[in-house]
Amino acid sequence: NGQGVHVYVIDSGIDGTHEQFEGRIGIGYDFVDDMETDEFVDNDNCDHGTHTAGTCCGEDTGVAPGVTIHPVRAFNCGASASTVRSALQWVRQYHKDNFSNNIGVVNMSFSAKKSTIINNNVDRLFNNANLISVASAGNNGGANACNKSPASADEAITVAASKEDGSFWTGSNTGPCVNMIAPGIDIRSAMPDGGYGKKSGTSMAAPHVAGALALVIEEKHSLANTPGNTGKNSIFQRVRNKATVDGLNNVPSGTDNLYLNIDYHAEWVDNL
């Protein structure tokens, strides 16, 4: 269930009092109000961070219900380059200082125009802090994800969205920077103030992959403790190896048709 794995959710904040996260909220930082805290509420009415965290890590709604969740509030309802950069830098330093021997996961369900500064900071998470980053491809209706950040970062795992009917969501960005496709339409998850609701977009797809990575990290200790980048690369490769190849309809040319495949049993990880 991801127990012992640290997941950093860089987003609009998390309702740390929600029943889906009970007892599993770790230290985070609020770059909107400039305060370190282990519990704060989405107060911008966009309900985004709580929902993505619930998909990754909710007790009942999440892929990896045992992880420790670190809420990193970098924006309200629209990403700001300066606060996102600060958030990435804080995550890198905090993880290095406290959990340097453990591979962690960073979920980034936001998209902005391509930024070398943002991409470099994402790459440093992988190269300098033992963290695997997952990014949403963006929701620009078929635009090239390679023109977006953090989706275009070299070390980001970029995720496009599919629909429940087994087809590619046409609102998703596409292209060679997309590494995987996951469910993204009408995803039910946690909402602030103890609620639940459905949301759609590549922001909802990315945390499915973040949760899958956490499951593998927990079980594959030998890989997770491999020095350098070999272990982190192997962790994602095992998730890719279980993906359904060419299983979705209407995937645009130039976009890998790799659909996230998760069996919620220990055998899924054991057989990787």
Catalytic residues: 11, 48, 203
Q: What is the CA radius of gyration of the chain?
A: 16
- Reading the block at residue 83, the tokens are 């606060």
Q: How far apart are CA 10 and CA 28, in angstroms?
A: 10
Q: Which of 126, 138, 208 is nearest to 169 (CA)?
A: 138
Phi, psi of 239 (to 5 degrees): -70, -40
- Strand duo 195-199 + 187-191: pairing: antiparallel
Indicate the helix (H) or strand (E) that contains 222: helix 221-224
At 57 the three-state DSSP class reads helix
Residue 84 vs residues 18, 35, 127, 250: alpha-carbon distances, Å = 24, 15, 18, 33
Q: Is the bond preceding residue 150 a cis peptide, omega within 30 degrees?
A: yes
DSSP state of 199: E
Could you tell me the end-to-end alpha-carbon distance of the chain, in angstroms, rounded to an integer?
16
CB proximity list for 110: less than 8 A, separation 6 or greater: 10, 11, 74, 75, 79, 84, 136, 150, 203
